[in-house]
Amino acid sequence: MKTVMGVVRPRTGTVIFDGQAIETLPTSERVRRGIAPVLEARRLFPRMTVFENLEMGAFMRKKGPEFDQDLERVYELFPRVKERRSQLAGTLSGGEQQMVAMGRALMARPRLICMDEPSMGLSPLYVEQVFDIIQTINKQGTSIFMVEQNASMALSIAHRAYVLQTGVVVLSGTAADLREDKNIREAYLGELQVEGAKAEAE
């Protein structure tokens, strides 16, 4: 993900976005071309208000009707963010901060969002809300590249999935196929072990 965003320069290979190689471009240019990050642990500006954090997502654009439209879209997706817009971002709960981080990315009008561990540190209730919103954003036309350790939730909403072990892709395919894969279910979803434990107990 850092390679896609331009934080890490690849030693080999090419990063293709919208049909063009971008691995030599700075991160700012990649954002300008339509790639936006939602970083692990949110990484908001804690001493700035929620609104100011959202403004930072659109720092490459001039304020105007489009800014207002995007802000309204964020508020519609995240009513809690609208309620907290004047509050310092550092005083929000983890789930609220994740919503602000996603809203900040949307303010860049991205075609691709790189989302790193969106469920990290969230309560089960917030995890469900965040994943529901991820699906909504995707259905509205924004592609999402997500790194997520909660395999069950990730596979429940993804179209395509890749399993990495020590930096190597060991399995890939449609999310539906991977959900049915015996090795995936045993190693990442825990379903077979649970069934075996129940049978043994009986």
Q: Is 77 exposed, middle or buried (0-12, 13-18, 19+ CB in 10 A)?
A: middle
Spatial separation of the C-alpha atoms in residues 163 and 174, rounded to whole Å: 11
**Domain boundaries in the chain?**
2-149, 151-202
pLDDT in tens, the chain (202 residues): 899 999 998 899 999 999 999 999 999 999 999 999 998 877 899 999 999 999 999 987 777 788 999 999 999 999 999 999 999 999 999 889 999 999 999 999 999 999 999 988 888 888 888 899 999 999 999 999 999 988 888 899 999 999 888 888 888 999 989 888 887 777 666 654 444 444 344 4
φ, ψ of residue 110 in degrees (nearest 5) = -80, 155
**Long-range pairs, 118-124, Cβ under 8 A, ≥24:** 118/38, 118/146, 118/148, 119/148, 119/149, 119/150, 119/153, 120/40, 120/41, 120/149, 121/41, 121/94, 122/94, 122/95, 122/98, 123/94, 123/95
**Tokens standing for residue 51:** 């609104």
> Domain 2-149 class?
alpha beta
